[in-house]
Amino acid sequence: MSDIELVLAECLVAIEKQQDTIEGCLARHPDLAGELAPLLRLAADVRAVPAVQPSPTFQQAAVPRLLNLIRAREAARVAPAPAAPAGFWQRLWGWRPNRALLVRVVLALLIVALLSGGSVATAQSLPDSPLYPVKRAAEQVRLNLTLTEIQRAKRLLDFADERAREIIVAARLNKPLVAERALRDYEGALLLAGSKLSQEWATGRDVRPVMKALLVRLDRQQAALEKALPQTPPRSKAVLIEAIVVTRRAHERASEFLQNNP
Amino acid sequence: MPSEAELVQRASQRDAAAFGELYSVYLNKVYRYIYYKVGNATEAEDLTEQVFLQAWEAIDRYRQQGAPFAAWLFRLAHNRVIDYHRTLKSPAPLDPSLEDRRPGPEEVVARRLDAQALQQAIKHLSEEQQQVILLRFVEGMSHAEVGAIIGKGEGAVRSIQYRALLALREILGQGYQG
């Protein structure tokens, strides 16, 4: 370590402990004073920056919110997993998958897809593709890995972007039923994200920046849907138009929220 | 008033109320650290909550490591911010007030430093330099405490501190040219 590094560190500690001043330190080290002075002043200015704090609403609600989240997690941990209704799995194999096993299976499928160069194909798959369940399962895993509701809402908005892309591609390929399926999920993702953000707002979180970002996304989605309309075969146009209506409705709800909560 | 060690001990035995007290103590500090790293108040609040949820999940592992609780918590915060930047698709901040810009020298001289100018300036530093500036001068930690968080000795922290202040002076310009 060089002299200047050591002297600077000693002076900073002495000033912090109010055992010395900048001037005193410079007087004790005249040979280094030229280099030391601006650094000591800068350090003092950084220390003097007024403390940044979370918003008062966040601060007030923070501890009860965290405790609620923790208790919900603990309750979910000790409660037995709810029995799934007898359905496809039982009828087929007389076997019910548990959640942990399902996650492992999905991860294994993802690894296989990646190793076989199928990740791009999976990411771009449409609801009628054999790879589509892998893509949706991967989304579910990503959603399950989120820790907070705001993060979950943002992820749902990412998924809504992807559903909008699927609607456009399927409509262009004249697959109205496939586009219709993506449209239902698009609307579902937007509604669920909106409901999560409203719930967060009710518990004191400032979700307005996320709502503003949502408006930008919805504008982008609407522009992409409208742009795709002229190149879409007539039979599939109705789905695109419905998607535009869904997007506008979501835009209106988000705008209304921001107007009511400026 | 229970000590921090007692609260940690109780929290590691799944005492949520004790963990809530630790949260109250460290909420603002962790928030501040994250805020300077991401430059957005709402994101900082969300990430702060995520850090503490993660801490609750992992508090048993902390007990086994034996590092100071603050050091462990700031390390979690640091890793969370790294994950956040990694997954961030659009680097544009959501707060329009925090657009990416370096403060002009005249501006810095005129009003010295405020939180926004500091946030804008430190993001041009290296990851280690950012950590040392924030932990040393914003959080007021000692060289040893910073070293425990970033995994370096005190000597290395002093060197990084010197280089970080030099770099920050360079970024902030004329006001700190001596």
- Given this model, what pLDDT does residue B141 score? 94
Secondary structure (3-state) at B101: coil
- Which conformational region is residue A223 in: left (phi greater than 0), alpha (psi within -120 to 50 degrees), or beta? alpha
B137–A43 CB contact, under 8 Å: yes
- Pick the residue of B15, B19, B34, B49 with the most A CBs within 10 A to test the interface with A by mutation: B49
* Angstroms from A169 CA to nearest CA on chain B: 22
Cβ contacts (< 8 Å) between A209 and chain B: which residues? 40-43, 94-95
The residues, any chain, with a CB within 8 Å of residue A33's CB and separated by 6 or more, are A26, A27
Poorest-pLDDT segment among A130-139, A222-231, B43-52, B105-114: B105-114
Q: Indicate the pTM of the whole model.
A: 0.65
Q: Is the pLDDT of residue A225 over 60?
A: yes
Poorest-pLDDT segment among A30-39, A108-117, A231-240: A108-117
Backbone angles phi, psi at A145, to 5 degrees: -80, -10
- Given this model, what pLDDT does residue A118 score? 57
Q: Is the pLDDT of residue A166 over 50?
A: yes
- Given this model, what pLDDT does residue A113 score? 57
Q: Which of A193, A58, A70, A220 is nearest to B11 (CA)?
A: A70
B31–A65 CB contact, under 8 Å: no
- Pick the residue of A11, A16, A39, A143 with the most B CBs within 10 A to test the interface with B by mutation: A39
Cβ contacts (< 8 Å) between B159 and chain A: which residues? 1, 5
A148–B50 CB contact, under 8 Å: yes
Cβ contacts (< 8 Å) between A63 and chain B: which residues? 20, 23-24, 27
Tell me what the mean pLDDT of segment B63-67 comes to: 67
Residue A200 neighbours by CB distance under 10 Å: 20
A42–B176 CB contact, under 8 Å: yes
Give the per-residue SS3 of chain A: CCHHHHHHHHHHHHHHCCCCCHHHHHHHCCCCHHHHHHHHHHHHHHHHCCCCCCCHHHHHHHHHHHHHHHHHHHHHHHCCCCCCCCCHHHHHHCCCCCHHHHHHHHHHHHHHHHHCCCHHHHHCCCCCCCCHHHHHHHHHHHHHCCCCHHHHHHHHHHHHHHHHHHHHHHHHCCCHHHHHHHHHHHHHHHHHHHHHHHHHHHCCCCCHHHHHHHHHHHHHHHHHHHHHHHHCCHHHHHHHHHHHHHHHHHHHHHHHHHHHCC
With CA atoms as reference, the chain B residue closest to A74 would be B14
Nearest to B159 among A5, A49, A71 (CB): A5
- Given this model, what pLDDT does residue A105 score? 63
- Given this model, what pLDDT does residue A55 score? 86
For chain A, give the mean pLDDT.
83
pLDDT band at A16 (very low <50, low <70, confident <90, very high): very high
Tokens describing residue A144:
């399950």
Cβ contacts (< 8 Å) between A158 and chain B: which residues? 89
pLDDT in tens, A202-215: 877 888 888 888 89
- Given this model, what pLDDT does residue A6 score? 94
- Given this model, what pLDDT does residue B156 score? 95
Tell me what the mean pLDDT of segment B86-114 comes to: 48
pLDDT in tens, B3-58: 888 999 899 888 999 999 999 999 999 999 999 999 888 889 989 999 999 999 89
| Percentage with pLDDT > 70 across chain A | 82
Q: Is the pLDDT of residue B104 over 70?
A: no
pLDDT band at A90 (very low <50, low <70, confident <90, very high): very low
**Integer Cα distance of B5 and B8 in angstroms:** 5
Q: Is the pLDDT of residue B142 over 70?
A: yes
